């Protein structure tokens, strides 16, 4: 089942777009099945769950952290995480930098933006992002690298609303790239799009899509 779902989705995703298979709440055996079908990028939203799965599964899996990250849990994923999609404060960035340094690594990060109408979702607005990028504190950080932006659209059937929100995130990316990363070869990523809206996200410029339930089936939301 997982394999069939995965292969079907991959057919519709352009090669330049990275499919992150969101395996949160799902057992390691499901990840192994996707891995055996060729999938390497996986996304998790809980630090301890990700650490446990990392220990059980093949070493060449590329791990994406996509959830709200508590600063006291960074240490569990700092040794191996490939990309943290969900940075929404200078303080979090400083804490990630500190843990990355302990592991003698540079950790790639995305700035998460609040683009949806819902109030509950985490994320920055453009002014807050500029404040971070302008700060002296940010310029001191040597063990993190900001590689782009991430956002989640409103949970709605109104595709025009979703499209507008993704378009807004693309505009944020373009303006940050122009003002802060004009010569950077690594500020390239726009992480947007989930099971129900990844096609729109791709049309609006996503480079990373985060797809869970369409691959692994519905989650048990009691978790
Ligand atoms: C759970 C989750 C996803 C995947 O959602 P699906 O609707 O299952 O595809 C993507 N992004 C984030 C941040 C998530 O928490």
pLDDT in tens, 2-46: 999 999 999 999 999 999 999 999 999 999 999 999 999 999 999
- Joined together, the tokens standing for residue 15 give 């090669």
The finding on whether 195 has its CB within 6 A of some atom of ligand 1 is yes
DSSP, collapsed to helix, strand or coil, labels residue 120 as coil
Question: In the chain, what are the domain boundaries?
Answer: 2-216
Nearest atom in ligand 1 to the alpha carbon of residue 45 is 15
The finding on whether 25 has its CB within 6 A of some atom of ligand 1 is no
Residue located nearest, by CA, to atom 10 of ligand 1: 210
Ligand 1 pocket test target in 66, 69, 156, 200 with most atoms within 8 Å of CB: 66
pLDDT band at 170 (very low <50, low <70, confident <90, very high): very high
Query: Mean pLDDT, to the nearest integer, of 163-186?
Result: 97
CA distance 119 to 154: 10
CATH of domain 2-216: 3.20.20.10
pLDDT at 117: 83
CA of 67 to the centre of ligand 1 (A): 9
Say whether pTM exceeds 0.95.
yes
Place of tokens 């999609």: 85
Ligand 1 pocket test target in 212, 214, 216 with most atoms within 8 Å of CB: 212
Cβ neighbours for 10, distance < 8 A, ≥ 6 positions apart: 19
**What are the backbone angles phi and psi of residue 159, rounded to the nearest 5°?**
-65, -25
Q: Evaluate whether 166 touches 149 at the Cβ level (below 8 Å).
A: no
Place of tokens 């569990």: 76
Place of tokens 């693309």: 170
CA of 194 to the centre of ligand 1 (A): 6
pLDDT at 120: 63
- Cα dist from 137 to 90, 123, 134, 142, 208, whole Å: 8, 20, 9, 11, 28
pLDDT at 60: 98
């Amino acid at each position: 089942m997982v394999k069939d779902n995965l292969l079907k989705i991959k057919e519709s995703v352009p090669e330049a777009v990275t499919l992150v298979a969101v395996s949160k709440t799902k057992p390691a055996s499901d990840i192994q099945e996707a891995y055996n079908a060729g999938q390497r990028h996986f996304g998790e939203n809980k630090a301890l769950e990700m650490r446990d799965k990392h220990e059980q599964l093949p070493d060449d899996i590329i791990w994406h952290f996509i959830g709200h990250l508590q600063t006291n849990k960074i240490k569990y994923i700092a040794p191996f995480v490939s990309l943290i999609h969900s940075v929404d404060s200078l303080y979090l960035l400083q804490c990630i930098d500190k843990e990355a340094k302990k592991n003698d690594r540079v950790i790639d990060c995305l700035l998460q933006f609040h683009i949806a109408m819902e109030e509950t979702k985490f994320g920055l607005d453009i002014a807050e992002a500029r404040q971070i990028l302008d700060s002296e504190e940010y310029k001191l950080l040597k063990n993190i690298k900001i590689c782009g932006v991430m956002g989640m659209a409103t949970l709605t059937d109104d595709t025009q609303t979703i499209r507008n929100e993704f378009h807004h995130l693309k505009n944020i990316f373009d303006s940050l790239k122009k003002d802060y990363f004009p010569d950077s070869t690594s500020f390239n990523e726009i992480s947007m799009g989930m099971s129900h809206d990844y096609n729109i996200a791709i049309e609006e410029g996503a480079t990373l899509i985060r797809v869970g339930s369409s691959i692994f089936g519905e989650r048990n939301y009691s978790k």
